[in-house]
Structure 1
């Protein structure tokens, strides 16, 4: 007891430890603290929400793994660091240092455990090259043990540790009827016993023809030099198939939650909770049947809005915030704020610490921006569709614009149409709103240096 008491006293006077937990492909609402426990149970994620701030309007910078992970760890837009697709070709670490590099320089012990998918050296790399004193990549059920070992080993100095889970990304394998590498979920029950199909199962009225062309192109996507389909057979699935898909998806989230619980339990047992800031998020979401879409890339809320919680026992304000968050930009300055580290030049995000601690909003934010680039989906001639788009999310609306199509724009009233079932671009009653969002898109391009549609 005396040893624990001294450790707690010492912890109160030093910089906090920081634990960044990331899942892969988790939609913002896929937590029982949001949905209730009828179809999903995530007690460990819920415990973070119960002791911290849950941000309800948090979006990714790009709804795809490498682009948004690179943004999360650099604090820069995808068009700045150059990753709009899943390419891990190395970027310039001097120009784009990652969080591990920044905190290691600031005196933190740094560890990264789990899925990497970043454009920095990882396997057989030095700490200077990766940013992390210790790294370990394995299946989800194998990464808690080395993470816990790292925490225990560094409990007497400030540490920054990333706990990066793959699930519920295994839903991709489920959609292709492949084995699930990160844990068995059992056989789906009869559809009537599964979660209901989404209320927004059908495509939006008056949707951009760019979206329809992408949907059709996705049906043609195949693995290189094979006839094997790359994605779920979207055109063949009815409501019952989507019910089973959602059942499976929630089981994968629960598997991730179980692993998260192991690390959180260690913080409690080691007396580290009060001096450890926990940030929980995901790189992007999954369509889970909305508009008959699975996987990622799209600007729908199911794919682009992500869970985001900041929990620091006895320090964070418990509750919810509707402040617009871009997790690709805001995590770097938030972590630097807690660590007392200098934010790298060029970062355009804001620290969310003030909101999490109930000390006020850092600055008024009119919008957050998101990008996408479809390259795996094929046109009728067999060539990649190569379609790009941008999304502006304001307090009440979403504005999409693509670089292809006769009708490349979409405007959604998110307050009255959260399922995104009607495109209001072209509706004369919304001409002024559309004009305002076009101006914000132009402002975003100017401020961020994005040359899209220039």
Structure 2
């Protein structure tokens, strides 16, 4: 950070007549607590740490749906993905809104342009429409989501903006890929499976760059035995985070996950690895994930340095989040899409020189899908859309005592819906023959290892959360036609 920037007097954003710039950085598949500033000693994330030092870290932020496409749909529509029929459970037939005409009508970027903003989008899209549909100028295409492509183009666009449009603020999105490359770090027989890695990364363009990312990040570094190669595994095992405390499968797990009594279970599907990985394999998986996190952090650092070099950092709000997390061996699974904390819980940081940096908000429940655009609009001085369900979290930036009027976060997932409250997860699975209703007391450690819906001591909590579920998902249940897969748990509790 430049000394000039560090010594600037702090002024709340609403006290300035100058509209702030807004830089939104989105990672892919980043766990909320894989940040060294949070005390995680297995990753080095000096650039995410920079944002933590100069901003507010929201430790109770969650994705509306822990999969890339629906999560990103929500981020750029401020609506639930189910509204558009995106990742609605197979058992549900529901009317939905056509997404492309919707975003062309709402034109998120256009509303910011009316406030004088230049609007730029670069990198991963994955939301079934184009940034152009929202009114953005695209500086890096949908396959230019790696640091080698997106970040230099973002820096060039920042430099050009400073030169050509210094009298206008900007809203820039930089949507980067890692640590998603963990999905290609295949492991077999206690070794990285180079044959499968090379097979799945074979190709030109983005696949060639994917191969470079995977091979370089997995390579044993210089100064270590086996430097430049992928064995011996002793190096990896010394550096790997230990197995998580909820490594074992959950007791009374939904049968659609376990596969017990089903034709198949999600836990052993491709990319999940339960029953295929042993403890050593999971340690290798966790080591690899840390390296992809650090790869993303390096890209972020280059972008932050480019913003500083442009001379526009002083008046730029930086919003950082991820679309979802990664199971990372919890319950002996990898990937995303489940109603588990490892994949629903996401990082969310807002940084600006006017903020008393280094503060952590561990109280307010944040939905990064529903709350992102309302927050951006408030920063830009654009009017809120009355149809938005989400809330602006900007009032939280300068008042540590401010509380959002919210006690429930809605969550949709590939096989059901749920809610997150301050102390509990409650969800209903639409698929599977057993254990479809789940309640988790998230104050427990290890986390989500038993279904508290079956414990009589939680009967009052269960009844309350059934009611909260009906309230939080009222409109969705109407759109779904109040299907029996949900109502069998809800009908008796009005």
TM bucket normalised to smaller: 0.7 to 0.9
How far has the Cα of 1:357 moved from its partner?
1.8
Contact 2:324 2:345 in 1 (8 A): yes
Q: Deviations over 1:95-115 (max 9, x none)?
A: 763543432343211111111
Q: Residues 331 and 98 (structure 1 numbering): CA distance in 2 closer, same or farther, change over 3 Å?
A: farther
How far has the Cα of 1:240 moved from its partner?
1.2
Alignment of 1:368-383 (within 5 A): 368-373=409-414
Indicate the residue corresponding to 2:250 in structure 1.
Answer: 204
1:393 aligns with 2:420: yes
Q: Which shows bigger deviation, 326-335 or 355-364? A: 355-364
How far has the Cα of 1:211 moved from its partner?
2.6
Q: What's the secondary structure of 2:399's corresponding residue?
A: coil
Which of 402, 413, 422 lines up with 2:429 in the alignment? 402
Unaligned runs of 5+ in 2: 90-97, 188-195, 202-209, 220-229, 484-494
Whole-Å separation in 2 of the counterparts to 1:251 and 1:202: 24
Contact 2:257 2:266 in 1 (8 A): no
Q: Residues 240 and 217 (structure 1 numbering): CA distance in 2 closer, same or farther, change over 3 Å?
A: same
Indicate the residue corresponding to 1:148 in structure 2.
Answer: 155
1:320 aligns with 2:323: no
Whole-Å separation in 2 of the counterparts to 1:316 and 1:336: 22
Whole-Å separation in 2 of the counterparts to 1:33 and 1:98: 36
Q: Deviations over 1:302-330 (max 9, x none)?
A: 11101100111123553111211110100
Q: What's the secondary structure of 1:245's corresponding residue?
A: helix
Whole-Å separation in 2 of the counterparts to 1:27 and 1:61: 15
Indicate the residue corresponding to 1:283 in structure 2.
Answer: 323
Alignment of 1:228-377 (within 5 A): 230-231=270-271, 233-316=273-356, 318-322=358-362, 323-358=364-399, 360-361=401-402, 363-373=404-414
Q: What's the secondary structure of 2:473's corresponding residue?
A: helix
Larger radius of gyration: 2
Whole-Å separation in 2 of the counterparts to 1:361 and 1:429: 33
Contact 2:30 2:347 in 1 (8 A): yes
Whole-Å separation in 1 of the counterparts to 2:101 and 2:440: 38
How far has the Cα of 1:34 moved from its partner?
1.4
Which of 104, 116, 119 lines up with 2:128 in the alignment? 119
Q: Residues 357 and 26 (structure 1 numbering): CA distance in 2 closer, same or farther, change over 3 Å?
A: same
Contact 2:84 2:99 in 1 (8 A): no
Q: Which shows bigger deviation, 287-296 or 148-157? A: 148-157
Indicate the residue corresponding to 2:83 in structure 1.
Answer: 80
How far has the Cα of 1:148 moved from its partner?
0.7
Which of 438, 458, 463 lines up with 1:435 in the alignment? 463
Whole-Å separation in 2 of the counterparts to 1:15 and 1:83: 35
Indicate the residue corresponding to 1:46 in structure 2.
Answer: 49
Measured on the aligned residues, the alpha-carbon RMSD in Å equals 2.6
Indicate the residue corresponding to 2:138 in structure 1.
Answer: 134
Which of 174, 178, 188 lines up with 2:185 in the alignment? 174
Q: TM-score normalised to the size of structure 2?
A: 0.79
Contact 2:103 2:134 in 1 (8 A): no
Contact 2:29 2:324 in 1 (8 A): yes
1:57 aligns with 2:60: yes
Contact 2:282 2:329 in 1 (8 A): yes
Q: Residues 46 and 211 (structure 1 numbering): CA distance in 2 closer, same or farther, change over 3 Å?
A: same
Whole-Å separation in 2 of the counterparts to 1:132 and 1:349: 22
Whole-Å separation in 1 of the counterparts to 2:263 and 2:51: 37
Q: What's the secondary structure of 1:18's corresponding residue?
A: strand
Q: TM-score normalised to the size of structure 1?
A: 0.85
Q: Residues 286 and 294 (structure 1 numbering): CA distance in 2 closer, same or farther, change over 3 Å?
A: same
Q: Residues 219 and 61 (structure 1 numbering): CA distance in 2 closer, same or farther, change over 3 Å?
A: closer
Q: Residues 219 and 286 (structure 1 numbering): CA distance in 2 closer, same or farther, change over 3 Å?
A: closer
Indicate the residue corresponding to 2:492 in structure 1.
Answer: none
Q: Residues 308 and 418 (structure 1 numbering): CA distance in 2 closer, same or farther, change over 3 Å?
A: farther
Q: Residues 150 and 290 (structure 1 numbering): CA distance in 2 closer, same or farther, change over 3 Å?
A: same
How far has the Cα of 1:21 moved from its partner?
0.4
How far has the Cα of 1:219 moved from its partner?
6.6
Contact 1:167 1:252 in 2 (8 A): yes
How far has the Cα of 1:267 moved from its partner?
2.3
Q: Deviations over 1:334-358 (max 9, x none)?
A: 0000000122342111111111222
Q: Residues 98 and 41 (structure 1 numbering): CA distance in 2 closer, same or farther, change over 3 Å?
A: farther
Whole-Å separation in 2 of the counterparts to 1:417 and 1:347: 35
